[in-house]
Amino acid sequence: MSQDSIAYVAIGSNIAPFRQITRCLDLLHGIPASGVCAESSWYRTRPWGIETQPDFINLVVGLRTRLSPLGLLRETQGIEVKLKRRRGPKNGPRTIDLDILLFDQLILKESHLQVPHPGLLLRDFMLTPLIEIAPDAVHPEHGLPVSQLAGEIRYRQIIDRSPPAAARDH
């Protein structure tokens, strides 16, 4: 891509989450032709699906990038590999999980990448931090700013939140 795009990426971890997310953010800053331009608060959330596991820490970052959506996916999956992400049971514990929520106004439905992310409007730990850093970002399928879509949330898992600087000091 020749011009900058804005992508929003959800980050989650429940295995040494403060260390893993800090490392993840450092790696995100190193993605070629990209830069982190926003970071939400860090949200402690209840697990979903498999409830007998530690709480998660979730946040959303904004990235300004010249990569294509698939190029960004390759980079985020590379970060997951570096941080030893193991694909275990669905909704199970993980060192790190990165999901592309939005990429400009793109609607993409590939077998390995869907944008907007299909869980964006269902889960508070995705939508709430996105609203925090980009309330006017438009959901391309709904044509509305994400701040107007909070009523769509089906699963409420947020327990509490910490501002980014306070969370890193944890």
Catalytically active residues are 85, 94, 97, 99
For 126, the token pair is 């995705």
* Dist CA 12 CA 46 (whole Å): 12
Per-residue buried b or exposed e for 51-85, using 16+ beta carbons within 10 Å of the residue's own CB: eebeebbbbbbbbebebebebbbebbeebbeebeb
| Helix 69-82 vs helix 17-29: crossing angle, to nearest 10 | 140
At position 159, the amino acid (one-letter code) is I
Give 160: exposed, middle or buried? Use CB within 10 Å, 0-12, 13-18, 19+. exposed
